[in-house]
């Protein structure tokens, strides 16, 4: 049975483009143009994954409300925010609401589908027993690409898909400077340098929450970042 994806997006062209592309990959896609419509459908049946635009028609924060409602209905449902806004504040508030990733609309479709696939992988891994693992271990760090999980000192670190890919990209070759462009490729996104910087900042913060002494991600000014095996 194919997975169902709900797209809540007020622009019909984008909605249909995304829906078409995802359908081609075998997903069952339903599009909704506004919050009320989407909420009514979600009351009846939850999708397997939701892609939500934050600004919906005349409700500028309509996406956040849907996210909150969905998270209340299911703790595990993967939610991706898709928005034209790129400000950090939106990012932070979006993530605090429990979204699994946060993407600007200019992301390419292959990048989007990679994320969707990764999220479903994570969902599957949580339900199925541990299979052949594709695991990267660097000291206290453990990145499980199949389950899309990261743990530090055996405690899970709640990273988004993008962040996980960045950490993975860095930690794969410790001591090597990863240029921002390389990190973007690893993270399957095309954004500007400052976005990478703020991603790194957020990743550091999440690790520091678990371990105040965390300093494995080193900034090499003018070039990029480096994983310091400590």
Q: Judging by beta carbons within 10 Å of its beta carbon (0-12, 13-18, 19+), is residue 122 exposed, middle or buried? A: buried
Residues in contact with another protein by the rule CB under 8 A: 11, 13-14, 17-18, 20-21, 24, 84-89, 104-106, 108-110, 190, 192, 194, 197-198, 219-224
Sheet holding 177-179, edge to edge: 177-179, 224-227, 217-220
3-state class of 53 per DSSP? strand
Nearer to another protein, 10 or 144 (CB): 10
- Cα(166)–Cα(182) distance, integer angstroms: 9
Nearer to another protein, 133 or 193 (CB): 193
Strand ranges (E), 133-229: 135-138, 141-144, 149-152, 155-157, 177-179, 217-220, 224-227
- Cα(54)–Cα(150) distance, integer angstroms: 27
- Cα(21)–Cα(35) distance, integer angstroms: 23
Nearer to another protein, 169 or 224 (CB): 224
- What secondary structure letter does DSSP report for 192? -
Nearer to another protein, 30 or 198 (CB): 198
User: Which residue, 228, 206, 118, 201, is CA-closest to 165?
Assistant: 118
Cβ at position 103, least distance to another protein in Å: 10
Two tokens, residue 103: 């993407």
Cβ at position 194, least distance to another protein in Å: 6
Cβ at position 168, least distance to another protein in Å: 23
Nearer to another protein, 2 or 194 (CB): 194
Nearer to another protein, 61 or 86 (CB): 86
Cβ at position 20, least distance to another protein in Å: 6
3-state class of 195 per DSSP? helix
Cβ at position 223, least distance to another protein in Å: 4
Cβ at position 123, least distance to another protein in Å: 24
Across the strands, what pairs with 228?
Answer: none
CA 189 to chain centre: 11
Nearer to another protein, 7 or 119 (CB): 7
Cβ at position 84, least distance to another protein in Å: 4
């Amino acid at each position: 049975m194919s997975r169902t994806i709900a797209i809540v997006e007020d622009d019909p062209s984008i909605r249909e483009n995304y829906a078409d592309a995802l359908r081609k990959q075998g997903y069952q896609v339903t599009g909704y143009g506004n919050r009320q419509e989407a909420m009514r459908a979600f009351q009846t049946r939850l999708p397997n994954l939701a892609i939500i635009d934050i600004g919906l028609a005349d409700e500028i924060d309509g996406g956040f409300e849907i996210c909150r409602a969905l998270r209340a209905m299911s703790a595990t449902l993967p939610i991706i925010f898709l928005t034209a806004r790129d400000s950090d504040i939106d990012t932070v508030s979006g993530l605090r609401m429990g979204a699994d990733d946060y993407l600007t609309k200019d992301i390419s479709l292959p990048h989007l589908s990679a994320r969707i696939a990764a999220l479903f992988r994570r969902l599957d891994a949580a339900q199925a027993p541990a299979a052949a693992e594709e695991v990267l271990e660097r000291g206290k760090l453990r990145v499980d690409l199949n389950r899309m999980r990261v743990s530090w000192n055996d405690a899970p670190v709640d990273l988004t898909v993008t962040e996980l890919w960045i950490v993975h990209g860095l930690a794969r070759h410790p001591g090597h400077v990863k240029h921002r462009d390389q990190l973007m490729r690893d993270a399957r996104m095309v954004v500007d340098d400052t976005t990478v910087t703020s991603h790194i900042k957020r990743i550091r913060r999440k690790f520091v929450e678990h371990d105040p002494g965390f300093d494995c991600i080193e900034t090499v000014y003018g070039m990029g970042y480096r994983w310091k095996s400590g």
